[in-house]
Amino acid sequence: MKHFLDIENHSSAELQNLLDVAITLKKEQKVGGNAPLLKGKALAMVFQKPSLRTRVSFEMGMQHLGGHALYLSPAEIGLGKRESIADVARVLSGYVDVIMARVFEHNHILQLAEWATVPVINGLSDYSHPCQALADALTIQEEFGTLKGLNVVYVGDGNNVAVSLMHIAAKLGANFTIANPEGYGMPAHAITLGQQFAAESGSTVRLLTDPHEVVKNADVIYTDTWTSMGQEEESAKREKVFPPYQVNAALVGEANPNVIVLHCLPAHRGQEITDEVADGPHSRLFPQAENRLHAQKAILVRVLGVA
């Protein structure tokens, strides 16, 4: 595995292997710590967007595995502005063993991977969030034992998180359904890929607008913020459109009794999700957040070829 840029680039077998590695590393860490598989290795963390989970999980992941992580803020690099992406990629490749970048434009991730001579990991872009999707799949597998045949439902904006969730669900055999307001769906080419992956795995991808319809028989209900970073000027408009898509106790009550609720965080409580649900018995928000650490450790050891 040279890079980890998008779920769509990896086979179902590769994704399941990553989950298996994550489970093994998580168990090891809980009972005494991980072996120093990445001793002497260094990770550069390039941030255009702020983050709690992405920074801390990657930094602690490298520490658990015996390596080192270096945080590079937007002001320190100015990716594509102060210095070209090609130059940044080649300079960092001379200093570190792997690069993780959290960017606005997906093309910036692709350019980093094109020019870097070390592995590049997509820590988030405007198109996709593959590290989050792997943590989501890990959380679902821990709960149900498999994704095969499950009904995974997403309620809200068809954003980068929804794209990666759709792709990993379809690749691993889960039925994926999204309910979003008209005009707030996922990119057409991402949907086409999701439908293709579902056909290959024997699952389904459905696109609807009624949140009450999609949660019927749901095993997983997923939601995310109504306004992503970079869309702040749309906040007022979106706050008028999205209230019917709030994940609240009434909506969760229409799903399967053992349904779990996921959210990639940060949550805007009282908007896309209520306190009652986020802190309730169906919530897996915080095990899901912890699983970013374990999923990303699996990615790191695979792209660096040590597992």
Q: What is the pLDDT along the chain (307 residues), one digit of tens a residue?
A: 899 999 999 999 999 999 999 999 999 999 999 999 999 999 999 999 889 999 999 999 999 999 999 999 988 887 777 889 999 999 999 999 999 999 999 999 999 999 999 999 999 999 999 999 999 999 999 999 999 999 999 999 999 999 999 999 999 999 999 999 999 999 999 999 999 999 999 999 999 999 999 999 999 999 999 987 667 778 889 999 999 999 999 999 999 999 999 999 999 999 999 999 999 999 999 999 999 999 999 999 999 999 7
Of the candidates 3, 6, 53, 264, the residue annotated as catalytic is: 264
82 catalytic? Reply is no
Kindly state which CATH superfamily the domain 132-288 is placed in: Aspartate/ornithine carbamoyltransferase (3.40.50.1370)
102 catalytic? Reply is yes
CB of 209 closer than 8 Å to CB of 179:
yes
Of the candidates 10, 53, 129, 263, the residue annotated as catalytic is: 129
Of the candidates 292, 294, 296, 302, the residue annotated as catalytic is: 292
For residues 204 and 17, what is the distance between their CA atoms, to the nearest angstrom?
22
Of the candidates 10, 53, 64, 102, the residue annotated as catalytic is: 102
Of the candidates 16, 48, 111, 132, the residue annotated as catalytic is: 132
Kindly state which CATH superfamily the domain 7-129+292-303 is placed in: Aspartate/ornithine carbamoyltransferase (3.40.50.1370)
Least Cα distance to 80 among 61, 108, 122 occurs for 108
29 catalytic? Reply is no
Q: Structure tokens of 50?
A: 């702020």
189 catalytic? Reply is no
292 catalytic? Reply is yes
Least Cα distance to 177 among 189, 188, 165, 190 occurs for 165
7-129+292-303 shares its CATH topology with 132-288: yes
CB of 261 closer than 8 Å to CB of 282:
yes
Domain boundaries, the chain: 7-129+292-303, 132-288
Distance spanning both ends of the chain, measured CA to CA:
11
Residues 6+ apart with CB under 8 A from 127: 6, 106, 160, 163, 187, 190
